[in-house]
Amino acid sequence: MLEQIAQTADFLRSRVIGEMPKLAIILGTGLGPIVDYIEEKQVIPYSEIPNFPISTVEGHAGCLIFGEMGGKRVMAMQGRFHYYEGYDMKQVTFPVRVMRALGVETLFVSNAAGGMNKDFKVGDVMIITDHINLFPENPLRGKNYKELGDRFPAMTEAYSHEYVKLANKIAEEKGLRLVHGVYVGTTGPTFETPAEYEYFRVIGGDAVGMSTVPEVIVANHAGMKVFGISVITDLGGKDITYVPTHEEVQEAAVTAQPTTVAIISEMVARVEL
Interacting residues toward ligand HPA by CB under 6 A? 112-114, 188, 191-192, 208-210, 233-234, 236, 244, 249
Could you tell me where the beta strands, DSSP code E, fall in the chain?
A: 23-27, 39-45, 63-69, 72-78, 106-115, 125-133, 179-185, 207-209, 225-235
What are the distances in angstroms from CA 80 to CA 66, 170, 195? 16, 27, 28
Contact predicate 49/102, CB 8 Å: no
Secondary structure in 3-state letters for 131-199: EEECCCCCCCCCCCCCCCCCCCCCCCCCCCHHHHHHHHHHHHHHCCCCEEEEEEECCCCCCCCHHHHHH
Nearest residue to ligand HPA, by Cβ distance, number only: 114
CA gyration radius, the chain? 17
Cβ nearer to ligand HPA, comparing 214 with 244: 244
Q: How far is CA 133 from the centre of its chain?
A: 14
CA proximity to 46, closest of 62, 32, 65, 60: 62
Cβ nearer to ligand HPA, comparing 249 with 271: 249
Cβ nearer to ligand HPA, comparing 182 with 208: 208
Tally Cβ neighbours within 10 Å of residue 50: 10
Cβ nearer to ligand HPA, comparing 171 with 208: 208
Q: How far is the CB of 17 from ligand HPA (least distance, A)?
A: 36
Cβ nearer to ligand HPA, comparing 24 with 207: 207
Cβ nearer to ligand HPA, comparing 20 with 179: 179
CA proximity to 180, closest of 130, 220, 138: 130
Of all helices (H) and strands (E), which one includes residue 265?
helix 257-270
Cβ nearer to ligand HPA, comparing 130 with 234: 234
| Omega before residue 33 within 30° of 0, cis | no
Q: How far is the CB of 188 from ligand HPA (least distance, A)?
A: 6
